[in-house]
A and B are shown apart, each in its own frame.
Chain A
Amino acid sequence: MIKLRIKNEMHTPQGKEWLDLDLSIAKGEFITLFGQSGAGKTTFLRILAGLTQPQEGFIEVDGEIWFDSQKRINLPIQQRKTGFIFQENCLFPHMTVRENLEYACADKKEQGSIEEWIVAMGLKGLEGQKPDKISGGQKQRVALIRALISRPKILLLDEPLSDLDMNARLKLQDEIIRVYQKTRITTVLVSHDLAEVFRLSKKVFVIERGKITKSGSPSEVFVNNDLSGKFKFTGEIIEIQKDGVLNILTLSIGNNITKVVASDEEMSGLTIGSRVIVAAKAFNPIILKA
């Protein structure tokens, strides 16, 4: 169980904002933090790991106090036992894959499990390679093992998939799901990709300008429930064309680009970059064998 209440000043391009969070995460839960860049997601992970010290607040993990500004308690990073996967790849460039993993091990017993992990993650044959000789997806898999090998209390994932192409991303999502189901480790994923949020987590916190604005299951949070649509997709507007009385929106949904028609009424409040739900109702689709 993680209980957390923190306040920290953030400097954003829009000026000063307060990161002001109060939340709890049950043991073994997989949650995502969803929000635009600069919303405070990464800062939240850094504060939890001990890499950034908040101005005030309180963090308790499994009954152990990690941070308390009033009592001046600040457990050092090294003692917090978190597994952290950074956005940019952070494998040590002078070490091979195996050496990177060995570095993370606290004892011989953990070192003994390296082989098992390497095989399970499909990295067999790459143990002797330096990080610059393997692909982005392979690097993040090594980083995932490195973060997990000494059995941390929490796994913190800071957009670990953002630099990967779609295939590698889906593959790594599978790995993350598999590892989570096996270990049931409390996991916090930071993401700004809706598909990822839906796929990976049961609970999402939406964070905007340092504050949590919504929380719940991904469909509760992102899908407007008064709409009884048969098909629902979430996408982003990438172009708006005005054509007579109608507007033609070009949307990016998942990996596809599609055009839909919208009335002026529907258009209110929408701009390029807005996230929208496209739902179709009251028609029967044609289904063809693919």
Chain B
Amino acid sequence: MHYDLQPLILTFQLAVVVTAILFVLGLPLAYWIAFSQNRFKYVVESLVSMPLVLPPTVIGFYLLITFSPQYFLGHFLQSYLGIRVVFSFTGLVIGSVLFSLPFMVNPIKAGLQNFPMSLMEASYVLGKSPWETLRRVILPNIKPALLTGIVMAFAHTIGEFGVVLMIGGNIPGQTRLASIAIYNEVEALNYDTAGLYALILVLISFFTLLIFYYLNRKTVKIF
């Protein structure tokens, strides 16, 4: 049985990068959705949750079109900035960030919305800015929601298939993720190798969730 650790390492790298980007992006977005009075926030909220209901191939298809060098944005990125998005790691990152966005934003949003308004007000009255209140009062109290967002985004990125196949393709060492490698091996009738990759993914996912639920055991589950 031949096997290659490359797809697993690549998957892990992608999940780490995507989770980090999503945390930085998701926190302000969740804060805005949770507390904004803007009537367009429902539009944003719906857009964020779209990946939950759409087939991954739909998002992958639009990304492929958007970033294809034949069209404006892809052309611009490639010829002026030298960035190639389709069939590259960058493309995988962009696709996965979009596709895992609700898994990061929704738990954090729920955590913020359930946070008692009175504690925020108590902090404001003490002269503290919204930023300081977020940092020193809100975030320490919504750790379970933050952890949920991080773990769900991470686990979901590991499990992604449709979007990454559409935009990334199947280039060994560059875009061939574990989920794609399994598909590849099955097509080549290498059931042993496919089975090994599958088992490793099952174990990683299971233990990630196990540790998460154990750490979060005392708090209310959002997912």
Chain A contact residues, CB within 8 Å of chain B? 49, 51, 77-79, 81-84, 86, 88, 90, 92-94, 103-104, 106, 146-147, 150
| Contact between chains at A86 and B141 (CB < 8 Å) | no
| Contact between chains at A103 and B118 (CB < 8 Å) | no
Other-chain contact of B125, A77, A88, A93, A94 (Cβ < 8 Å):
A77
B204 CB–A CB distance under 8 Å: no
Name which of B123, B126, B127, B137 has the most chain A CB atoms within 10 A of its CB: B126
Shortest beta-carbon distance from B147 to chain A in Å: 15
Shortest beta-carbon distance from B132 to chain A in Å: 9
| Contact between chains at A81 and B122 (CB < 8 Å) | no
Q: Beyond A93-B141, A94-B140, A94-B141, is A106–B127 a contact (Cβ under 8 Å)?
A: yes
| Contact between chains at A146 and B141 (CB < 8 Å) | no
| Contact between chains at A92 and B125 (CB < 8 Å) | no
Shortest beta-carbon distance from B127 to chain A in Å: 5
Cα(A81)–Cα(B128), bound, Å: 11
Other-chain contact of A103, B124, B136, B141 (Cβ < 8 Å):
B136
B210 CB–A CB distance under 8 Å: no
Inside 8 A of B140's CB, which chain A residues have their CB? 94
B192 CB–A CB distance under 8 Å: no
* B141 (CB) vs chain A CBs: closest residue: A94
| Contact between chains at B118 and A78 (CB < 8 Å) | no
| Contact between chains at B126 and A150 (CB < 8 Å) | yes
Shortest beta-carbon distance from B16 to chain A in Å: 28
Cα(A90)–Cα(B31), bound, Å: 21
Chain B contact residues, CB within 8 Å of chain A? 118-119, 121-129, 136-137, 140-141
Inside 8 A of B128's CB, which chain A residues have their CB? 78, 103
| Contact between chains at A82 and B125 (CB < 8 Å) | yes
* B130 (CB) vs chain A CBs: closest residue: A78
Shortest beta-carbon distance from B101 to chain A in Å: 28
Q: What are 22 contact pairs spanning A and B, CB under 8 A?
A: A51-B121, A51-B124, A51-B125, A77-B121, A77-B124, A77-B125, A78-B129, A84-B121, A86-B118, A86-B121, A90-B118, A92-B119, A92-B122, A92-B137, A93-B119, A93-B141, A94-B140, A103-B126, A103-B128, A103-B137, A104-B126, A147-B125
* B143 (CB) vs chain A CBs: closest residue: A94
Cα(A77)–Cα(B132), bound, Å: 14
| Contact between chains at A150 and B127 (CB < 8 Å) | yes
Shortest beta-carbon distance from A1 to chain B in Å: 21
* A92 (CB) vs chain B CBs: closest residue: B137
* A90 (CB) vs chain B CBs: closest residue: B122
Shortest beta-carbon distance from A84 to chain B in Å: 4
Inside 8 A of A81's CB, which chain B residues have their CB? 127
Inside 8 A of B129's CB, which chain A residues have their CB? 78
Name which of A83, A90, A146 has the most chain B CB atoms within 10 A of its CB: A90
| Contact between chains at A90 and B127 (CB < 8 Å) | no
Cα(A279)–Cα(B136), bound, Å: 55
3 closest A-B pairs by CB:
A90-B122, A84-B125, A77-B124
Inside 8 A of B127's CB, which chain A residues have their CB? 78-79, 81, 106, 150
Other-chain contact of A78, B124, B136, B137 (Cβ < 8 Å):
B124
Name which of B119, B125, B137 has the most chain A CB atoms within 10 A of its CB: B125
* A89 (CB) vs chain B CBs: closest residue: B118
* B127 (CB) vs chain A CBs: closest residue: A78
Inside 8 A of A106's CB, which chain B residues have their CB? 127
Cα(A92)–Cα(B126), bound, Å: 12
Cα(A103)–Cα(B141), bound, Å: 15
Inside 8 A of A104's CB, which chain B residues have their CB? 126
Inside 8 A of A82's CB, which chain B residues have their CB? 125
| Contact between chains at A49 and B126 (CB < 8 Å) | no
* A80 (CB) vs chain B CBs: closest residue: B125
Inside 8 A of B136's CB, which chain A residues have their CB? 103
Cα(A252)–Cα(B152), bound, Å: 57
Shortest beta-carbon distance from A190 to chain B in Å: 15
* B121 (CB) vs chain A CBs: closest residue: A51
